[in-house]
Amino acid sequence: MKFDAPAGANPIDKLRVVGRPTDRIDGPRKTTGTAPYAYERHDVVPNQAYGYVVGAGIAKGRLTRLDVSAAKSAPGVLAVVSTLDMDRLPLSKMNTASLFGGAEIQHYHQAIALVVAETFEQARGAAFLLHPEYQATPGRFDLQAHEDAPLVGGSSGEGSGGPKLDRVGDFDMAFAQASVKLDQRYTTPDESHAMMEPHATIAAWDGDRLTIWTSNQMIAWNKRDLAKTLGMSPDKLRVDSPFIGGGFGGKLFVRADSVLAALGARAAGRPVKVALTRPLIFNNTTHRPATMQRIRLGAGRDGRLVAIAHESLSGDLPDGKPETAVAQTKLLYAGANRLISMRLATLDLPEGNAMRAPGEAPGLMALEMAMDEMAEALDMDPVRFRILNDTQTDPEKPGRPFSQRQLVECLRTGAARFGWDRRKPRPGTVRDGRWLVGMGVSAGFRNNLLQPSGARVRLDKRGTVTVETDMTDIGTGSYTIIAQTAAEMMGVELDQVVVRLGDSDFPASAGSGGQWGANNSTSGVYAACVKLRDAVARAGGLDPDRAEFSGGRVAAGGRSIRLADAALHGDLVGDDRIEYGSLAKQYQQSTFAAHFVEAAVDGFTGEVRLRRMLAVCAAGRILNPKTARSQVIGAMTMGAGGALMEELAVDKRRGFFVNHDLAGYEVPVHADIPHQDVVFLPEADPVSSPMKAKGVGELGLCGVAAAIANAVYNATGVRVRDYPVTLDKHLQRLPELA
């Protein structure tokens, strides 16, 4: 199905099932332990052996020798696969760092060996018998030492990006002549995805055919890239990943667990399971790169922005990409004169790559703090300042409107609901005993990305509708919204729909990433259901153009038959995919939010405690308000981590992340999170898809950290521009308590 014109009225608009707050259909399996993650799939293939990955002990240089003799002789050991046994494996389209093969070491904990044994303990024990020898060379591990890095353009692949230098109008002159100016620098640290389920894979060969049961967000990408890395035909590879315990972008691409499980299974001659340990997850896989950002804003006395500059520096391995932290600044606020640029330093740290809302998450941490600082310089309320600088068209292309843009309504609704009028503009003036209390606000922004997505929908003689697509559920509720879509389209109840996901034998979907999964995958199911509806009507001798599906029946022209009867002589199948035309070029498609936070700071210790959080979102049609709310409050929680505690500590001598486990890398826990409220504004975007939806999972993160930082400033009067906002950064400057 080609979607190349705005959607008119269609069966989804009935909203009999779609749009209703619905419990997750996979919930019972999750709560009873019958939805196994990759490493737990003991029943898929017998006689599984255990692989243990060994990572490099240097960050840059060469592995000169690896003595495997003692490990091979250890009890229970079946095979030892050494990186010195083969040439460097080909890089896939999505990987920056080599996953295995050859002597070159590009980053700390790069995989150098896999030990396969009968038990995990035997494999781990034998791994410590390896004696690697290295020739280390000096590396580049300090982003601050490379502020003069070259300008580099790039894309996150998720709707954010741009050229290395983007000028509109005359920023320098406009900034120089502006009545009120801001020129500040902000930093965000390296961060880890720290998902619950580790990267894990079970691999089994049957002749020259390989099956992997893995934890991966993008099945079609995984199949394509793993086949290339292993030098095999994709049609001889099957990837299966029906349940995933979180990914946040860290499982978008093939990682070492899949590659080494396949190599280990080939070497051992039997199935092998591999899970990366936490230190390897932090150093061997990917992370969100640190940024150093400079923002300059110029405005007239009336508060209207006349000059906007956002410059960002990030780092990555050679041939890597920049963190696209400036992209949202091109679209979020009006302003005739602009300067946007990105610099990329070559570093020898582990690979930087996509983490939930790449680009916008760290970019808004800086931009929305700068907006608050500018509002204060103008002696203007921060909400009013943002509303004043709203725009309904692309600021760089004034003739290109937004398909939907309710940022102003997000801000106004949030301000009223949160009690923003009770906020005291002068920082450090509200006290609750020993606590300094403040409120903060930020805008949220994330682009809407369209991706082709396919599905197969089958009707059997029992009236059961089965949906098959390689779409994944990473905890987002994909099973449920796909079932809701099929139930709405075919006129059946939810319990008459079976959803099968995550298998590369199914039609390729958009996959889970970039906030595009819900809208695109359900649109693919919509397209397949249109085909199935046509087949059902024709099988029943009804006019497909007039057929109405409801209550498990199909009717047209005064005749009605049971849906099941149409399939009495064999299953009916609809197989199709959604493809998009040029609407994304005609309209800027984005999602918007307003985040409000109340924070308290202990006047004696500097400890920050969040008291209230509110997100107001405008993101197209919300397919399931219950699972969407869950996604947003999870994103708000992640934003709290980014604001207050998450930071990978870099050893700048040896080039690795020191706090590479969940004991040293702090993430929010229940006690850190207060009451969270989420509001979805009514919106249906006909330009986006036949579902008229967009996405909301990453929008819930974008801007949260800045709202928290702004609330802390309002509480204390101390501005911390280097994330995370930890107590050591403001303790000595807190106002005295009487």
What is the distance of C-alpha 260 from the center of its chain? 25
Helix (H, G, I), strand (E, B) or coil at 85: helix
β 209-214/200-206 pair status: antiparallel
Q: Which helix (H) or strand (E) holds 561?
A: strand 559-562
CA angle 616, 617, 621 (to 5 degrees): 140
Q: Is residue 698 annotated as a catalytic residue, yes or no?
A: yes
Q: What angle separates helix 256-268 from helix 219-230, to the nearest 10 degrees? A: 50
Measured CA to CA, the distance from residue 172 to residue 262 in angstroms comes to 56
Of 559, 563, 560, nearest to 572 by C-alpha is 563
Give yes or no for a contact between 518 and 695, defined as CB atoms under 8 angstroms apart: yes
Nearest residue to 443 via CA among 358, 329, 294, 324: 329
At 201, phi and psi to the nearest 5? -150, 140
Tokens matching residue 361: 């998450």
From the candidates 118, 191, 698, 736, give the one annotated as an active-site residue: 698
* DSSP 8-state secondary structure symbol assigned to residue 722: B
Q: What is the CA radius of gyration of the chain?
A: 27
Question: What does the alpha-carbon distance between residue 323 and residue 352 come to, in Å, rounded to a whole number?
Answer: 8
Please state, in angstroms and rounded to a whole number, the distance separating the CA atoms of residues 505 and 486: 20
Residue type, 661: D
Helices (H), 510-669: 517-539, 583-586, 625-644
What does DSSP say about strands 397-401 and 393-394: parallel, antiparallel, or unpaired? Answer: antiparallel
* Three-state secondary-structure class, residue 208: coil
- Rounded to whole angstroms, how far apart are CA atoms 343 and 339? 13
CA angle 293, 298, 301 (to 5 degrees): 145
Tell whether omega for the bond before 724 is within 30 degrees of 0, i.e. cis: yes
> Which residue numbers are catalytic?
698
